[in-house]
Structure 1
Amino acid sequence: MLVAAAVCPCPPLLVPEVAAGAAPELDAARDACADAVGLLAASRPDLLVVVGPAEQGGTFRQGAPGSFAGYGVDVSVSLGRGGPAGASRLPVSLAVGAWLLERAGWADAPVEALAVAEDLETKACVGAGEELAARADRVALLVMGDGSACRTLKAPGYLDERAAGFDEIAATALGAADTTTLMGLDEGLARELKAAGRAPWQVLAGAGRDAGLAGRLLHEDAPYGVGYFVGVWS
């Protein structure tokens, strides 16, 4: 059963070494993410699953490695402590999640990860969430995902006037633990707006549909024209 969730954005720029001189611009987001991860620890889960978007879906065991070498920095991470040698490398979104856990000194429960294909249909996302919630008596999720990438002219997806409305709906639903609205997010529109969080958020909705959790939005911003949201469900 899902007992807690944290929602965090997943840009590599959250890692200060990647952001370099621009690192202070995301200090507020980092602080909010730290608070959200702290809530996960306080929920005393039997299992923590990090969920994030990727080109292809897949599962990752505790100890799976990740790296930000592709961004020109010598920073490596591990999904929790220990784990098998030769494990598959984490996609970027999950590597950011692993970095958040390392930063918090996570040692409170076993950790696994689920990469969700960004084009995975809503029904499959919801089903995956239901399966995660059934994995243990007390399951917590760290859900990584960004909103639209079309909020300004300089955004990765250029300016789209629909982006602000999409992000407002998503942020409000995440802050209210509104699983119905999250499950109703339009797949096609999310794809057009480059909203990488749509599929992971719908996994969260499936996991939390019958959990009776309350939500709270800790941070909302759109630096670089991309919607970043931090929230907690407990």
Structure 2
Amino acid sequence: MFTAAALVPSPPLLVPQLSGDSAPSAEVRAAVVGVARELAALSTHWIAVGVDAASVAGDVSRSCVGRGEFGTFAGFGADVRTKLDADASGPVNRELPLAALVAGWLRSQVEREVHIDLHLVSADATADECRAVGVKLRAQLDDGDEPVGLLVLADGASTLTPKAPGSFDDRAPAVQAVIDAALGKGDREALLRLDPNLCSEIGASGRAAWQVLSAVFTEQPVASVEYNSAPFGVGYHVGMWRP
């Protein structure tokens, strides 16, 4: 039984040990943890959707095996351990993708015992392929009587300012404005119209995950926004979509 979707960015800076005392990081973190706690109040089983670098053997979507393993942010500068399930007992997997690490870290910030299944969508998936993934995920979300929440980990353009990770691209602000408006209004069709090539060029890596989100919803969602800004030249959106 599908309950709601929490929309969060996935930068390592969410972890205090990696961002230090940065006020912008603390603001993003507070908003992200807030919506994660809202989602946990509705459901303790989450399906998380993140973006992978490319398709694997032609598959645009794959389940990430790692629920029983520990991950670590050591590759980003601090050995902060995360896990997707309370029963995780395997060795530390230093190859877990960032989406898995952030999802596991968020799990540790909520006040209920949450377990997470992670799906990765290829960054180069077409809109139609993302739509197909979303339709399939919705069937999975609705299967059974257990409340299930969707956690969408996605970042906007990384080229919004000269000091952004991808430097400045003069096309990025206009595209980011479209993304911000669509996420804030629950405009599924606007997200599905995003151009994969353009989004790739301006570093909007979350495009595929947002298009999957759009297809999960069969009707206009009730959207709320907790945070929307680009403190480091990267578009970050935090909010909720409810059926």
Residues 130 and 153 of structure 1, relative CA distance in 2, 3 Å threshold: same
- Which string of whole-angstrom CA distances, capped at 9 and with x for unpartnered residues, describes residues 14-40 of structure 1? 111111343x32111111112211221
CA contact (8 A) 1:94 1:144 kept: no
Assess if the C-alpha contact under 8 Å between 1:218 and 1:230 holds in 2. Answer: yes
Provide the C-alpha distance between the structure 2 equivalents of 1:163 and 1:74, rounded to a whole number of angstroms: 34
Question: Are 1:2 and 1:211, in contact at CA under 8 Å, matched by a contact in 2?
Answer: no
8 Å Cα contact 2:70-2:89 kept in structure 1: no
**1:109-188 → structure 2 map (5 Å cutoff):** 110-137=115-142, 138-188=147-197
Q: Deviations over 1:125-170 (max 9, x none)?
A: 1111111111143432110111001111111111112211111111
How many Å separate the matches in 2 of 1:84 and 1:115? 22
Conservation of the 8 A alpha-carbon contact between 1:3 and 1:213: no
Q: 2:233 is matched by which residue type in structure 1?
A: G
C-alpha distance in 2 between matches for 1:28 and 1:129: 30
Unpaired runs of at least 5, structure 2: 55-60
User: Alpha-carbon deviations, 1:198-218, whole Å to 9, x = none?
Assistant: 01111111111x144210111
Scaled by the length of structure 2, the TM-score of the pair is 0.87
- How far the C-alpha of 1:75 sits from its partner, in A, is 0.7
Among 78, 82, 92, the residue aligned to 1:77 = 82
The 3 A distance-change label for structure 1 pair 86 and 17 is: closer
Contact 1:50-1:114 at 8 Å conserved across structures: yes
1:12 aligns with 2:17: no
Q: Over the residues paired in the alignment, what is the CA RMSD in angstroms?
A: 2.0
| CA deviation map 1:178-209 (0-9, x unaligned) | 1111111111110010111101111111111x
Secondary structure of the residue aligned to 2:103 is helix
Query: Equivalent residue of 2:30, what SS?
Result: helix
> Runs of at least 4 residues of structure 1 off by over 6 A?
none
Structure 1 residues 226, 2: closer, same or farther in 2, change over 3 A? same
Shift of 1:83: 4.1
Contact 1:171 1:217 in 2 (8 A): no
Q: Please, what TM-score do these two structures have when normalized by structure 1?
A: 0.90
Compare 183-192 and 89-98 and name the one that shifted more: 89-98
1:195 aligns with 2:193: no
Which position in structure 1 is the counterpart of 2:63? 59
Distance 1:106 1:194, change over 3 A: farther
**CA-to-partner distance for each residue in 1:80-114, whole Å, 9 max, x for gaps?**
21147369653012211221121114415x42001
Q: Does 1:227 align with 2:225?
A: no
Residues 197 and 106 of structure 1: is their aligned pair in 2 closer, same or farther, counting only changes over 3 Å? farther
Aligned length: 230
In structure 2, do the counterparts of structure 1 residues 44 and 133 end up closer, same or farther at CA, with 3 Å as the change threshold? same
Aligned residues of 2:141 and 2:149 also touching (Cα < 8 A): no
